[in-house]
Structure 1
Amino acid sequence: MLSGTALAPGFATVAGHAHELLFGFALAVAAGFLINRTSTARLAALFTLWLLARTLHITLPGSTLSLIANAGFAVMLAWMTVPQFLRGAKKWRNKAIAPILLGLCAMAALFQFTSDSTQAWLPFFALQQAVLLLTLLMLFMGGRIIAPAAAGAIERAGGHLEARVQPRMEGALLLLMAGVIVTVALPGGAPVTGLLTLVAAVLAAVRLMRWRLWAAQGRPDLWCLGLGYGWLVAGLALLALSWLTPLLAPGTATHAITVGALGTLTTGVMARVRLNRARRDPAASWVIPVATLLMGTAALVRLFFPVEAPALALASGLWALAMAALVALFLQVPAR
């Protein structure tokens, strides 16, 4: 699309590409991870809406049917997830999942209702907010996945991990990212947004280092998740640079998050879940390190060569290979 090739109508603009990555892929991953107990009928209805939304947005973007399907998927996902986190969580940090999910679903709906608006900044605003909310969700859930896994692996290796969830640091990250989400929408707020994002990057880096993943001997699957979290750190730092200086465009910096972090963490977590449920050792899988290498290379290509057509082809090919490796794992390892 960026090289001028005629594609499906939904991919005729940069916004269409971003929409499908954030609301087609990332929101579906969030649904799969966060919906634990529900009826088969509800899951079937949610999946049908998702599939219909993808088909209609690609072929008939901006149509009433596409709007209904995409907004409907977001509304149903919020209805199935937000109440359970509001009711079940006791600490305010755990309750934060509910507004994050609600915000992501609201941005998906907002994009649909404003895609044909004369106010061209509204769809961009929805996409920008979605990236930041998704970053916050990965910062939170990444810590809840990596910390206990690292602690268990280090203890089995004969060590001990003191810093696990790190609640104070987690709370600070939640508040800092909330500040970023608010200030980025304010006129002239870029300097404050940049400073808040930079502090968040530093805290996330300190949190990652305190997990001491290098002490989890023989666990490349956990090292790969650590690299995915490291891409969040890099993405926040690059976003801060883009808001504080003219050296980098925010759209380019975003790829450290949407390709590096999102690609690495989603493939790593999905592979680990599949292997653990099949009672197989994730550390012995070739898929996780290979997918991590492919996603990381794709992210670097997008960062250093943001508009060159050969680089775009290379990055998309690397992403596709990483996903193909994940599909190969799903086919090889039976579900339980």
Structure 2
Amino acid sequence: METIPILPSRPSPSGKTPAGPPPRGFALFALGFRPFYLGGAVFAALAMAAWSAMLAGMHSVGPAPVLPAMFWHAHEMVFGFAAAIVVGFLFTAGRAWTGQPTPTGVALAVLFLLWLAGRVGMWIAPGTVAFAIEGAFLPLAALAFTRTLARAGNRRNYPLALALWLLAVANIAALWLQAGGHDVAALHACRAGVALVTLFVVVIGGRVIPMFTTNAIPGFRLRQYQQVDRMVIPATVLGLASGLLPLPGWLAAALSLLAAGVLAVRVAGWRGYAVGNRPLLWVLHLAYAWLPLALLLQALGALGLVMAGLATHAFTVGVLGVAIIAMITRTALGHTGRMLVAGRTETVAYWLIAMAAALRVFGPMVWPAGYLHWIWGAGACWVAGFGLYALTYAPRLARPRVDGKPG
């Protein structure tokens, strides 16, 4: 029995999604994943298209009145896009974990509109107004999620609530530092946000990927090592912290390599390479496999052997981008009453985001002189992948479940 929500109602007795006309009605605010997955995907595509245009010199009216372009890009991809997906996931998962309600209906619509106002405000509004609107969203979302856990006494997931609160603090810190003219420190706060969202992937992925794999492939030989599993969280925290703290290069590299090694053992034991042609599985394993690679690149960056930005984008595009496209398809399929089967659309989207990660991280290593070309290529794949998701899933997310169940 799968205990993480992300999943789904069971299929119909025939093993197929119930046939018949599309469900009627409007259900975009029936459960947290619906507005935030759709809004996050649309924003991911639009924001990346805008960033690519800026780099190409094609966009003269950008976010500069509010923020420097580099900070806008970093902030919005972390605290705009990724944070929306995290909130949508936790509101959906929280209800399944606890049996307690999470924001729906008017309350969910208000939170979503606050998130949307933050995106618009960060683009066009005066700094103080934009920062006040943007800074309010994550604390309110964290409060709602924490209350859900507290009502049920669900202590196991308190660390996830704490991580969401810390993400809210990182966002406010980034905004405050930017308002004070501390550009470098503000970008550092954005990197702290990346580290926190990465921890969500480490924790949730560690729970669900082995379960999903063994449930989907009876008899699959998956090796889990208790001692390694106990080390994963502390080692990852140390590894991520080493990329944020002012440590000597050798020490930052050592801590990063420790975390990379522990995660590599876990990834190898999961044997993701053996899941075969099952896109819903291999894309999750691929996202998790980016973790040790990103930490390895972070270690090499600390020693001055590769560009530091490669590790950053291994985390953001490789780990987070691939994990997000994997989970927003899987959970949306399950929670709209559909079969957990990746069709052509999902598979193409997976490949596009995987290609975006490969181009952004490995391209500059192969041909440094073509740096901008690699970014544009990666950006095009990213826009296409999340745009495809938004176009395909918009009607599914806006309509009631096909099986008639609530949510």
Whether 1:246 and 2:309 are equivalent positions in the alignment is no
Q: Tell me which amino acid in the other structure corresponds to 1:255.
A: H
Q: Tell me which amino acid in the other structure corresponds to 1:302.
A: R
Task: Tell me, in whole angstroms, the C-alpha distance in 1 between the residues paired with 2:57 and 2:384.
Answer: 23
Partner SS state of residue 38, structure 1? coil
Partner SS state of residue 42, structure 1? helix
Contact 1:153–1:217, Cα closer than 8 Å, also in 2: no
Q: 1:50 aligns with which of 103, 106, 115?
A: 115
When residues 335 and 173 of structure 1 are mapped into structure 2, their CA distance, relative to the original with a 3 A threshold, is farther
Deviation of 1:284 (Å): 4.3
Specify the alignment match of 2:7 in structure 1.
none
Give the ranges of 4+ consecutive aligned residues of structure 1 lying more than 6 Å apart after TM superposition: none
Task: Tell me, in whole angstroms, the C-alpha distance in 1 between the residues paired with 2:226 and 2:246.
Answer: 32
Specify the alignment match of 1:226 in structure 2.
285
Please say which of residues 302-311 and 249-258 is displaced more in the overlay: 302-311
Q: Tell me which amino acid in the other structure corresponds to 2:55.
A: L
Matches within 5 A, 1:213-292: 213-243=272-302, 245-292=303-350
Q: Tell me which amino acid in the other structure corresponds to 2:228.
A: M
Whether 1:29 and 2:85 are equivalent positions in the alignment is yes
Q: 1:70 aligns with which of 134, 146, 149?
A: 134
Partner SS state of residue 283, structure 1? coil
Q: 1:324 aligns with which of 363, 369, 387?
A: 387
Task: Tell me, in whole angstroms, the C-alpha distance in 2 between the residues paired with 1:145 and 1:51.
Answer: 30
Deviations 1:248-296, CA, capped at 9 Å, x for gaps: 2222221112112222111111111222234444334123321221112
When residues 97 and 191 of structure 1 are mapped into structure 2, their CA distance, relative to the original with a 3 A threshold, is farther
Task: Tell me, in whole angstroms, the C-alpha distance in 1 between the residues paired with 2:119 and 2:342.
Answer: 35
When residues 238 and 203 of structure 1 are mapped into structure 2, their CA distance, relative to the original with a 3 A threshold, is same
Deviation of 1:224 (Å): 1.3
Contact 1:85–1:97, Cα closer than 8 Å, also in 2: no
Specify the alignment match of 1:2 in structure 2.
55
Q: Tell me which amino acid in the other structure corresponds to 1:236.
A: L
Structure 2 unaligned regions, length at least 5:
1-53, 93-101, 402-407
Specify the alignment match of 2:267 in structure 1.
208
Whether 1:127 and 2:199 are equivalent positions in the alignment is no
Contact 2:272–2:286, Cα closer than 8 Å, also in 1: no
Whether 1:113 and 2:176 are equivalent positions in the alignment is yes
Task: Tell me, in whole angstroms, the C-alpha distance in 1 between the residues paired with 2:229 and 2:145.
Answer: 21
Partner SS state of residue 179, structure 1? helix
Specify the alignment match of 1:179 in structure 2.
238
Q: 2:247 aligns with which of 185, 188, 192?
A: 188
Task: Tell me, in whole angstroms, the C-alpha distance in 2 between the residues paired with 1:39 and 1:283.
Answer: 27
Contact 2:191–2:244, Cα closer than 8 Å, also in 1: no
Whether 1:146 and 2:209 are equivalent positions in the alignment is yes
Whether 1:96 and 2:159 are equivalent positions in the alignment is yes
Deviation of 1:330 (Å): 0.8
When residues 82 and 239 of structure 1 are mapped into structure 2, their CA distance, relative to the original with a 3 A threshold, is farther
Structure 1 unaligned regions, length at least 5:
none
Please say which of residues 325-334 and 140-149 is displaced more in the overlay: 325-334
Quote the sequence identity (%). Answer: 29
Q: Tell me which amino acid in the other structure corresponds to 1:58.
A: W
Specify the alignment match of 2:105 in structure 1.
40
Contact 1:214–1:223, Cα closer than 8 Å, also in 2: yes
The CA RMSD measured in Å over matched residues stands at: 2.5
Contact 1:81–1:98, Cα closer than 8 Å, also in 2: yes
Deviation of 1:193 (Å): 2.5
Deviation of 1:70 (Å): 0.8
Structure with the greater alpha carbon radius of gyration: 2
Specify the alignment match of 1:302 in structure 2.
360
Contact 2:138–2:164, Cα closer than 8 Å, also in 1: no
Task: Tell me, in whole angstroms, the C-alpha distance in 1 between the residues paired with 2:391 and 2:129.
Answer: 34
Contact 1:271–1:329, Cα closer than 8 Å, also in 2: no
Partner SS state of residue 55, structure 2? coil
Contact 1:224–1:292, Cα closer than 8 Å, also in 2: yes
Contact 1:239–1:253, Cα closer than 8 Å, also in 2: yes
When residues 160 and 23 of structure 1 are mapped into structure 2, their CA distance, relative to the original with a 3 A threshold, is same
Deviation of 1:184 (Å): 4.2
Task: Tell me, in whole angstroms, the C-alpha distance in 1 between the residues paired with 2:153 and 2:265.
Answer: 29
Deviation of 1:53 (Å): 0.4
